[in-house]
Chain A
Amino acid sequence: MPHWLNLMIESLPSLLWACLVFTVPLTLLSFVFGLSLGLVAAITRLFAPRPLGALVRFYVWIIRGTPLLVQLFLIFYGLPSVGIVIDAFPAALIGFTLNIGAYTSEIIRAVLLAVPKGQWEAAYSVGMTWPQAMRRTILPQAARIAVPPLSNTFISLVKDTSLAAAITVPELFRAGQRIVATSYEPLILYVEVALIYLVVSSVLSSLQGQVEKRLSRYGGSIEEAS
């Protein structure tokens, strides 16, 4: 067996372990929390009184205008100076959640606006309240349009979690770095790490296709049909 293959196989278990225990949970948790935050932010910006909307705009402006890596450093290395000490994993989780919240709020805002106004009126006309119309009529239709852009964000997130290595979270990339430090084989190890990321994002992409298909089962929009 060639040396490179041997090394790859030997290091695979610890890389997969890091992926399974840190990368995947970090991705899933920050996406779920971030998406919820993004939904609240989008609805606030669209429907809440002005001052609240301005607050959301400020949040989105800050997050989108500064590097994610800097945000992570601020939370993990910066905040202790003012007495707020957060462990590496929760610090990363907070950073990614804030990040995803900002980006998805813009997506959600756009797709909510993309549902025709007539659908609100139809929902109201059968007696629904605002929350009922939102939950039963607007969100399901918006969700369908949101799948491709949200999947994009999700797949980016999988890869972005490698930044958590910089604040000591022992996720996939950092696990690779550690092995490099003892084996002195950066090319082999980083190719292996890249391949694992590739496999994970490919699996997620195919999941996206399935979700999209499921949400699109009702065919074209009404306008197209008539």
Chain B
Amino acid sequence: MIALDNIEKRFGDNLVLKGVSVEVTEAQVTALIGASGSGKSTLLRCVNLLELPQAGRVRIDDTEIRFVPGGKVDRTTMLALRRKTGMVFQNFQLFPHRTVVENVMEALVTVLKWPRDRARARAMELLDKVGMTFKAEAWPSSLSGGQQQRVAIARALAPAPLVLLCDEPTSALDPQLAIEVVEVLAQLAREGTTMLIATHDLRLAARIASNVVYLDGGKVVEAGLSQQVFGAPLDDRTRQFVSTLTGGGVAKDAG
């Protein structure tokens, strides 16, 4: 349903993605794992075009954009593609000037032009799903990090995107607060939400992802089913990276 083909992205002279291809299966969770600087966040941001690749192809459902170096991108197609996605950021990025429920309503009211009461009803449903109805009228600044991230998940889901993109959703949270966010994501996974998650939190990946893509140096090193990549990795680099999960370096995956 989502296909990234031969994506190339450079920042100045730095080639961050060197022809990456990834497929995301509908109703499944795909985790992009890799060390800092491996390009996993950049790749994720290429899906909803917060970063524009220099080359390659992004397709979601029946909407597709091809990138050629120096070429122009059609804004309407770009917007259409982006509106098939929802995104959760590492540092939440809730709208601080809107209450919790208004944050979730925002896309429905502003983008989809829903009447306010219908938007509010949908927002309350989603807040219920992430266990945040009790803070519906609060300002984001009064919430804990974990609560903010749960609201951010509800906000991203509001326009019913085809895929939920999560960029390091637990990395800014201490372990206790991360748990509540992982719980919410796991619940969504069970309900068949299509998700693409960039993370270096291997516990999160192992817990909810059915497919894993391991990136290193801007290239896909290994991709496959979660059990296989974590259980019997084929590549040495993958083996070394996932060893932090299976034994040895438990302390390392705290961040």
Contact = CB atoms under 8 A, between A and B. Distances in A.
Interface of A: 116, 118-119, 121-129, 132, 136-137, 140-141, 144, 217-226
B67 interface: no
Given A125-B86, A129-B79, A144-B97, A219 B106 contact: no
A118 B142 contact: no
20 contacts: A118-B91, A118-B93, A119-B95, A122-B93, A122-B95, A124-B48, A126-B155, A127-B79, A128-B107, A132-B110, A132-B111, A140-B97, A141-B97, A218-B97, A218-B98, A222-B92, A225-B141, A225-B148, A226-B91, A226-B145
A128 B106 CA distance: 10
Contacts of A137: 95
A72 B172 CA distance: 55
A219 B142 contact: yes
Given A121-B93, A141-B96, A221-B96, 10 more contacts: A116-B93, A124-B50, A125-B156, A126-B106, A127-B79, A127-B82, A127-B159, A218-B139, A218-B141, A223-B91
B83 interface: yes
Contact of A136 (B82, B110, B159): B110
B85 interface: yes
B111 A226 contact: no
B166 to A, nearest CB: 11
Contacts of A223: 91
A217 B48 CA distance: 33
A224 B145 CA distance: 11
Contacts of A126: 86, 106-107, 110-111, 155-156, 158-159
B141 A122 contact: no
With most chain A CB atoms within 10 A of its CB, the pick from B92, B96, B140, B158 is: B96
Contacts of B65: none
B87 interface: yes
